[in-house]
Amino acid sequence: MESLSGRKKVLEQKPMNFWERIYLPAIFKGMAITFSHMFKKKETIFYPEEEREFSENWRGMHSLKRDENGKERCTACGLCALSCPAEAITMISAEREKGEEHLYREEKYAAVYEINMLRCIFCGLCEEACPKEAIYLDGPIVPADFLRKDFIYGKDKLVEMPINELEALKEARF
């Protein structure tokens, strides 16, 4: 048969010569190679003292960002919940009261914001959909847990810590 692309290679199957048949020279060469590996650099990463580096585009745990004044950016518009292909995000919105000007940027905010980490596929569509640049997937790997209900992360785990932590902790309503 003519070969169509010219890449056919006929395999040479010569009978082995004496040195090949006794296998010993090949075995010794192989053993020399293995031995040389003992003196090369080891590839092991010693977790938890060292950690493997993530790439720049790594998508980890979600975090709800704040702006320069420490106010939460999220306005509970629901675009992230709409865009999530796994329907992992749910929220309940609330109206900003008189004394809470420094906590939330606009009049509407998310009183309850929950992401079910077991449903989430870390695709990043919520990050792309958010008009307020409020949600980013820049956290670490979601840690393991025992019960399913513990994987539904609320605002306490998702909102990033403000610069002035103590005041915000005292006054924010979760």
Partner 1 sequence: MEIAFIIEKLVLVTILFVATLTIAAYSTWAERKVAAWLQDRVGPNRAGIFGLLQPLADGGKMFFKEEIIPSGANKWLFIAGPSLALLTSFLGTAVIPFGQNIELFGRSIPMQVTDINVGILYIFGVVSLGVYGIMIGGWASNNKYSLMGAIRGASQNISYEIAMGLSIIALLLVTNSLSFKVIAEQQHSWHWNFFYQPLGFLIFLVCAFAETNRVPFDLPECETELIGGYNTEYSAFKMGAYMFAEYINMFVSSAVMATLYFGGYNYPGMDLVNETLGATWGPLVGVAVLLLKIIAFIFFFMWVRWTIPRFRYDQLMNLGWKVLIPLAIANIVITAIVITVVDKL
Residues 6+ apart with CB under 8 A from 123: 59, 85
Closest to partner 1 by CB, 9 or 52: 52
Which helix (H) or strand (E) element contains residue 156?
Answer: helix 155-158
The reply to whether 30 sits near partner 1 by the rule CB under 8 A is yes
The reply to whether 52 sits near partner 1 by the rule CB under 8 A is no
Closest distance of CB 55 from partner 1, Å = 23
Closest distance of CB 31 from partner 1, Å = 5
Q: How does 122-151 read in b/e, with b if 16+ C-beta sit within 10 Å? A: beebbbebbeeebbbbeeeebeeeeeeeeb
Closest distance of CB 15 from partner 1, Å = 16
Residues that bind partner 1 (CB under 8 A): 27, 30-31, 33-35, 37-38, 40-44, 46
